[in-house]
Chain A
């Protein structure tokens, strides 16, 4: 009994939690070259840390020119969506041990938006689509003197889509959006859904009409990339189908 325990303990002392992991990062700097290139960084890191920690380590200790967005570092602000090992994720919610650090871990900017530098993309077209669905409460008549009450069931109806943090992981995982930025994209539809199915809102019809557009919900091909990508676990494809259904059934 004692021998194995001792052995394990010794091994534990000798072992460091650190491993050497390779991060293969897609670099682009228009002030140096018109081409984007892959650059490998080998760092010592605890695999229980996140990809964001690795990026910090590289930026702070190895190459200060590495450029990426992050703010909260805890999956709330939606700044650090990126394509990690070919899949859109938040760097701050992706543990290194979960994405096989034996092999080089690829990190690139999200697709379908113009890359400005390294992992930073121009989010303007994304937010333009968001603004175009009027993502705010619209009501008619006099303002009530008290808060606008809503039953628990009515609140439940659109609960899933209230969770969106506008990280663009879904929209930039959509093959239709990759090829044609005129498509509203899943995130805009999710945020329209949040108000269309809110019993207090009175502009649902208007938003449905906007999404009935040639670049609206009918461009969705049900690939489920968006649902797979969403770091908030929102059933994005389902929300899009609910908007389609509302459009088809509203007249009958």
Chain B
């Protein structure tokens, strides 16, 4: 706040840095639309993603609530969970399918949800690129690893 006397502006009280010929920078709105904003992107990806969120959500209600009940509430709650419990459940193709479906749907649903969040909040193109890169890498890794485990699980492992 100490505008010295040699500055172009006099040492007026409150130190006027800006005037009519030298206005302060405006606080621009994030990612403004302009004439150059790209026109319509072809394809129905956004529509598919929107529909997928709703459809997977409906299926997830059943899968996730069922999962939580079995794992945390029924039959002694968390205390019963152990290698034997998991091995017992994955011996049945029904629970394998359940868990596989839940893994894929929850991961894709959550990843697409986070993609929405990044689109909403990340302002700079580079930030968007990196965050999405990280998100997609983590998603693919988790889905592949989970699928691998469900299919190759060996109850007799030493």
Contact = CB atoms under 8 A, between A and B. Distances in A.
Interface in B22-60: 23-35, 37, 39-41, 44-47, 49-51
Contacts of B35: 128
Contacts of A209: 40
A30 B41 contact: no
A114 interface: yes
A99 interface: no
Contacts of A210: 39-40
A36 to B, nearest CB: 8
The B interface is mostly helix, strand or loop, or mixed, namely loop
Contacts of B19: 31-32
A218 B49 CA distance: 9
Given A32-B18, A182-B37, A218 B50 contact: yes
A132 interface: yes
B94 interface: no
Interface residues of B, number: 33
B31 A180 contact: yes
A34 interface: yes
B26 A212 contact: no
A210 B34 CA distance: 16
A113 B25 contact: no
Contact of B41 (A33, A125, A213): A213
Contact of A179 (B16, B47, B120): B120
Contacts of A1: none
Contacts of B123: 179-180
Nearest to B53: A218
B40 A213 contact: yes
Nearest to A218: B46
A76 interface: no
Nearest to A220: B50
A248 B33 contact: no
Contacts of A248: 47, 51
Given A128-B37, A212-B40, A114 B32 contact: yes
A179 B121 contact: yes
A236 to B, nearest CB: 18
Contacts of A32: 16, 18-19, 24
A144 B50 CA distance: 41
Contact of A132 (B18, B23, B37, B51): B37
Given A113-B29, A125-B29, A182-B31, A33 B40 contact: no
B30 A180 contact: yes
A248 to B, nearest CB: 7
Contacts of A176: 120
B26 A114 contact: yes
Contacts of B51: 248
Interface in B118-153: 119-121, 123
A178 B20 CA distance: 29
Given A128-B33, A213-B46, 13 more contacts: A30-B25, A31-B18, A31-B20, A32-B16, A112-B29, A122-B29, A125-B29, A132-B39, A180-B120, A209-B40, A212-B44, A213-B41, A248-B47
16 contacts: A30-B23, A31-B24, A32-B18, A33-B17, A34-B17, A34-B24, A125-B32, A132-B37, A175-B120, A176-B120, A180-B123, A182-B31, A182-B37, A212-B46, A213-B41, A244-B50
Interface of A: 30-34, 36, 112-116, 122, 125, 128-129, 132, 175-176, 178-182, 184, 209-210, 212-216, 218-219, 244, 247-248
Interface of B: 16-20, 23-35, 37, 39-41, 44-47, 49-51, 119-121, 123
